[in-house]
Amino acid sequence: MDAIKMANLTNRDLIHNCDSFPNRVSQPVAYAELLESYVLFQHEGKTLGYLLPKVVEALRELPDDWHITGSAASLASKHDTFEKRSEALKRTVEKWRDEQRFAILKGWRNELYPCYAGPKNVVFVMERSACCLFGLVTYGIHMNGYIPATDSAPLRMWVPRRSPHKQTYGGMLDNTVAGGISYPMTPYDTLVKEAEEEASLPAELVKKNTKAAGVATYFYISCSKQGGEGGWLQPEVQYIYDMVIPEGTVPKPNDNEVESFELLTVEEVKKALAAGEFKPNCALVMIDFFVRHGILTVDNEPNFIEICARLHRTLEFPLP
């Protein structure tokens, strides 16, 4: 695997730092080789995620809850309801947290995330910080707030800097509003809630000025800036929104997650991207904004087609 590059980053580097799991179509050999090092986490014949050897080893110590064959692990068949499966997973990951078995669980969130086996079929819920131990797909929303270009001023974007004390990616730049979707919230409800909590943007303004703009999908291998040991597998789905922020409306931190907001021109955002100042998936969402707004085009970006495809990766796991 390539090392993560941190400065003078091209847009392709930025995508690569976030969509870092080899792609089965464009990198079939690297994909097959990497996959051999994992065990499949399965439910009724469907693969929900990939397990690192150290996780499989830890699951082997829990034969009451887990059934493990050579290449696949699944919950014991007696866990045959949403509640029983969720309970068994809770038991499993709380044990690991209490034993301090995996450093990533120091970031325990007390938030439950859903795992889908298909449309409208939630198999179980799981503590947010533990999802990456099982390689589960997680879901979030990202919104870029901007002031459109006028005759006298260029387009500008409201960019927050994360609190240096935040457990994950402290001090890095972010999208205007972003957050994970806890069960059973909808993407839109999450957007409205986080806009209030992270940026003091009133619900009414968000509802009036925000437009859905698609979804970004990618497959991240975590780095140590996330807290913990790094190397975890994180296929992610981010619902994307654009919000026109009226001149005079100033986003303000409202909880301890954001340190400050700055109004940046596209050139300033590009410079910060190239310097590696953005949290990896926020860089990817910013590139998606640039593509949709005609800032990044085939005329100024040599890897335009690859970048557009990788912003919308086909994930190999069941989706909602």
Which of 236, 184, 239 is CA-nearest to residue 211? 239
Residues 193-212 that bind its own copies (CB under 8 A): 211-212
Q: How far is residue 265's CA from residue 156's CA, in Å, rounded to a whole number?
A: 4
Contact 261/163 with Cβ under 8 angstroms? Answer: no
Q: How far is residue 134's CA from residue 176's CA, in Å, rounded to a whole number?
A: 29
Residues 72-131 that bind its own copies (CB under 8 A): 119
CB of 319 to its own copies, least distance (A): 5
183 touches its own copies (CB under 8 A) = no
Q: How far is residue 264's CA from residue 146's CA, in Å, rounded to a whole number?
A: 9
Q: Which of 25, 32, 103, 153 binds its own copies (CB under 8 A)?
A: 25
Q: Which of 107, 214, 230, 253 binds its own copies (CB under 8 A)?
A: 214
SS3 for 144? strand
Count of residues interacting with its own copies (CB under 8 A): 40
69 touches its own copies (CB under 8 A) = no
CB of 219 to its own copies, least distance (A): 10
SS3 for 71? coil
CB of 111 to its own copies, least distance (A): 20
> What are the residues whose beta carbons fall under 8 Å from the beta carbon of 56, sequence distance 6 or more?
39, 68, 73
CB of 210 to its own copies, least distance (A): 8
CB of 196 to its own copies, least distance (A): 20
Residues 226-265 that bind its own copies (CB under 8 A): 237, 239
274 touches its own copies (CB under 8 A) = no
User: What letter would DSSP give residue 24?
Assistant: T
Contact 103/109 with Cβ under 8 angstroms? Answer: no
Q: How far is residue 14's CA from residue 213's CA, in Å, rounded to a whole number?
A: 21
319 touches its own copies (CB under 8 A) = yes
291 touches its own copies (CB under 8 A) = yes
Q: How far is residue 104's CA from residue 97's CA, in Å, rounded to a whole number?
A: 9
Smaller CB separation from its own copies, 62 or 291:
291
Interface positions with its own copies (CB under 8 A): 23-26, 28, 119, 186-188, 211-215, 217, 237, 239, 291-294, 297-299, 302-306, 308-316, 319-320
